[in-house]
Amino acid sequence: MEIRREPEKKRKWEINMNKRICCAGLALAVMLVCLCVSACALDAQSAAEELSTIGMFRGTGRSFELERAPSRSEAAAMLVRLYGAEDDALTDYVSGVCSHPFSDGRGWDAPYIAWLYGRGLTRGMSSERFGASAPCSAHDYLVFLLRALGYRDGEDFSYAAAEELAASLGFYERVLFSGTFTRGDMALMTRLALGAPVRGAEQTLLEALTEQGAVAEELARPLAQAMQDAPFRIGDGQLLVRESAWNRSSYDLSLTVRFELDGDGSVLSEYTLERAELAELLRSDGQGFLALDTRALEETVAAWAERCSGSRMPFQFDSACKGLIPIPFLLCDYRVDVPALEKAVALQLLTLESGVIRAPLAAYDMSGRRMDLNATCVEVDIDNQKLTYRKNGAVIVSTDVVTGNPNGHITPTGLYYAHDKQTDCTLVGPDYVVFVSYWVGFIGNSYGLHDASWRSSFGGEIYRTNGSHGCVNIPGEAMRTIYEQIEDGTPIFIHSGT
């Protein structure tokens, strides 16, 4: 099939400015701080809520999205807020006082990157590219925090040894921030850094921001008190809990770990640690604190992981209509994210509250790469004539479709990847010439997803008598959404029971 390209439509971009919080909003924020800091919890959600009330951490619509990796742009925005300079960055960028030379980072993130770049506080991944959408690592972010605290690269610390300084200042511990660095980790590390001492001054970062007027005193006061009263802390890179708090709160403490198949949620096995077993993960430091024995924790989690993992198994795909189905041609290893589980156990233990931890068995291909088909994938179910597009775990599109006639031009089943996105093009074949507004290829330029304005209905048994020539015909609005949201390389899984 030949594709003839039509002229592409132009797009306009706008940069929206954030507005200041009104007095009523400030009063509400004060109340929320009082509510959320009273629990003194050491967890990502509480940290995000606390930072949100002082305007430092923001959600992305409906939630904080704490489980996904933060981008370098998001880390840059957090760093500017830690300098108390968000208003200055926004104003200076619009007025042309600051700018940056990178080809990316030209949307909402441009003022933050420009402000940091102009002060030599951040560098790009190259001279031309900042790497705005690239994930930010725990190491890179703690370097950002050290800079915000006034410590200087090459003078107070080297990049390679930055973790040692962060640990001594009380906002970094290896187990707590191992594995994939998430937005939740970013919130928690920031929250801990607010209690760290500023270089050359007898005040914490939170106190310095309050003094500068970047954080309202009414908001800072309850947060500072919660930091002081917290039953836990990081000391010299160790996770510590007050011995008195442990003795007072842990009599009926238990922790259950449930190993589940990722995408299905069915429990494969379960382990429960009672108070006596949890106590074996702690040891006294002789100064009124119990330190988490990270070696004992690692050995415990490793034993669990070894018993629960499986190798060379068919990938279990979570189909929208059929439930969990195996893909026989797609073999994978199912194993636990050990660093993430160590982190979860450590966090739960230090809350001094009983709890249940979900430990999904994630799939990895034969080269060791994570397979996220159940989180991000376009599924085309030929038997049910249904397309479901999931992105980062959320359903973006669910629609009826028309695929190829099973007795003629079949739609090839298998696992493919999106490529060659186009708009306004003409599809040409031996017996047809049709115009489509949106095209996403999955096999060369011969098979793809596209709208079909000539069809008045989709789904059902249409494909058996009036099917496509092998492509997947999709209603116009649904296809437009797919085109706008999909990225090159997105998996497209097409299957049929027959």
pLDDT at 229: 82
pLDDT at 32: 33
pLDDT at 2: 54
pLDDT at 410: 93
Q: Which residues lie closer than 8 Å to 227 by C-beta, 6 or more apart?
A: 194, 195, 204, 206
Q: Render each residue's pLDDT in the chain as its tens digit; 498 residues.
A: 655 554 443 322 222 323 322 333 333 333 333 333 334 456 788 888 888 888 888 776 557 888 888 999 999 998 898 888 899 999 999 999 999 999 999 999 999 999 999 988 888 888 899 999 999 999 999 999 999 899 998 899 998 999 999 999 999 999 999 888 999 999 999 999 999 999 998 899 999 999 988 888 998 888 888 888 888 888 888 898 989 989 888 889 999 999 887 756 677 788 999 999 999 999 998 888 999 999 999 999 999 988 888 888 888 888 999 988 888 888 888 888 899 899 999 988 888 889 999 888 888 888 888 888 888 999 999 999 999 999 988 899 999 999 999 888 899 999 999 999 999 999 988 888 999 999 999 999 899 999 999 999 999 999 999 999 999 999 999 999 999 999 999 999 999 985
Pairing of strands 238-242, 289-292: antiparallel
Any idea where the domains of the chain sit in the sequence?
A: 23-230, 244-316+335-367, 375-495
Return the CATH architecture of domain 244-316+335-367.
Roll (3.10)
pLDDT at 138: 94
| Own/partner pairs, 109-113, CB within 8 angstroms, 24+ separation | 109/73, 109/74, 109/76, 109/77, 110/15, 111/15, 112/73, 112/76, 112/77, 112/79, 112/80, 112/86, 113/73, 113/76
pLDDT at 41: 54
Beta strands of 228-342 (E only): which ranges? 232-235, 238-242, 254-261, 267-274, 282-284, 289-292, 310-319, 323-336
pLDDT at 459: 96
Return the CATH architecture of domain 375-495.
Beta Barrel (2.40)
